[in-house]
Amino acid sequence: MLSDISNSWNDPLLRLSFLCITIMGAAVATLTPFQSVIGIEHLGFSRSAYALMTTLGALFSVTASVSVGIYTDQTGRYKTVLARCNLVAIVGALSVFFLPSKITFILAHVVLFPIASTTFTQYFAMASLAARKNDALNKDVSLSFIRAAFSGTFGLTPPLLAIAVAGGMDLLSLYGVSALLSIVVLMLILRMWPTQTVALSETSGIGFFESLKELSSAPVLARLLLIAVISGVNGLYNILLGLLIVNDLGGSEADVGWFAGGVAIAEVPVMLGAAVLLRYISRSGMILIGCLIYGAFLAGLAAFDTISSAWVMIIPGGIGAGIILSLSVGYVQDLVSSRPGAGSSLVAVSHFGGMIFASAVLASGGLFTGYQGTAWIGSAIGVCAGIALFAIDGAKFRPGTAKS
């Protein structure tokens, strides 16, 4: 496994993807754990309004990601796309930082950040291209290498910010921090882009609508829907974590950062180990295991009544999330394995579906239960989705069986 990681670092395209998504992870982690608290508790959005806003943002994100994925497959212009999208991220963060209001919050989270988020899937497309052209690379390890980089900084960033928040830092200042980190990513793209790489010169040769048709076949959509629900459980966790800690567990806003960071740190070794286990266990089998662990984590977290007793849930949370978040990327990419850009854009489609799931559970759960009951509902549905995905792939734990 160490040799696989070393080979990944030595590939210039994969190394750039690693560095960019590492800093991007910090930029995203600066806002994600605190976003619902800022929107609902500080700016005054209702739960239903916040759910609607996140759904609209996810819809715009998936539209942009699919379009960008097909575009990069057709043209190979990854550098241009990534530079412009990171510039949009900078504008979005600065708009809320300098002019905090419901209007700028909506503008950033419904329009600008969704455009910027297309870079996430394109880093995976670049990793997939690198693995295709470099025989020394193991694709599953390479993708997990990239995903673990994102989770690593996602884990380290919130605890550091929790110290600042506990010391009196205003939550809206986090948008300024996120903008600075996005500037760093932009500089990496402009200064470290590989001058010669065969992988990025490869184009798909098919039209936009032909690509859309390929992405919308029944076998692809069925599996994509189930992956969306599975990833949606993680999206629900991201929404509920701060609300549970502040409202149900008696914790502080700083505790949100510590908990989110702990879970993300625990994900990193699991992500790398899960890629190696694919030699012995099928991908859908591993995803099922992840669903069972993560479902138990979310349901268990909601069952506690104090933050001091809930810290123990960080470990199962990291294990379950590490499996789900890393392996679902390769699973989705392989649904359209010949189109790295478009295939990676399906990751955004699954995230969109996941956001719809999370928002729907949040909004509907609010009609008859609290945040804890909402977590239990989401957990149960996520486990059922994992079982269904495993069944549709033949209910086999051994690897090497093709999906029909």
How do the pLDDT tens digits run along the chain, 404 residues long? Answer: 566 667 677 888 888 999 999 999 899 889 987 888 888 888 888 878 888 888 788 788 778 877 887 777 777 788 899 999 999 999 999 999 999 899 999 999 999 998 998 888 788 878 877 877 777 777 777 777 787 888 778 778 877 887 888 888 888 999 999 999 999 999 999 999 887 654 555 554 444 445 555 556 677 788 889 999 998 999 899 888 988 998 888 888 788 888 988 888 888 888 878 878 888 899 899 999 999 999 999 999 989 989 999 999 999 999 999 999 888 877 887 776 555 555 566 777 787 778 788 888 888 876 788 888 999 999 999 999 999 999 998 888 887 644 43
Residue indicated by tokens 């662990």: 293
With vertex at residue 240, the alpha carbon angle to CA 237 and CA 244, rounded to the nearest 5 degrees, is: 125
Output the pLDDT for position 204.
47
CB-based contacts of 219, cutoff 8 Å, min separation 6: 335, 403, 404
Domains of the chain: 2-392 (1.20.1250.20)
From the list 284, 276, 144, the residue with the least C-alpha distance to 226 is 284
CB–CB of 333/340 below 8 Å? yes
pTM beyond 0.85: no
CB-based contacts of 248, cutoff 8 Å, min separation 6: 302, 305, 370, 371, 372
Distance CA 90, CA 84 (A): 10
CB–CB of 376/299 below 8 Å? yes
Distance CA 166, CA 32 (A): 17
With vertex at residue 273, the alpha carbon angle to CA 268 and CA 278, rounded to the nearest 5 degrees, is: 135
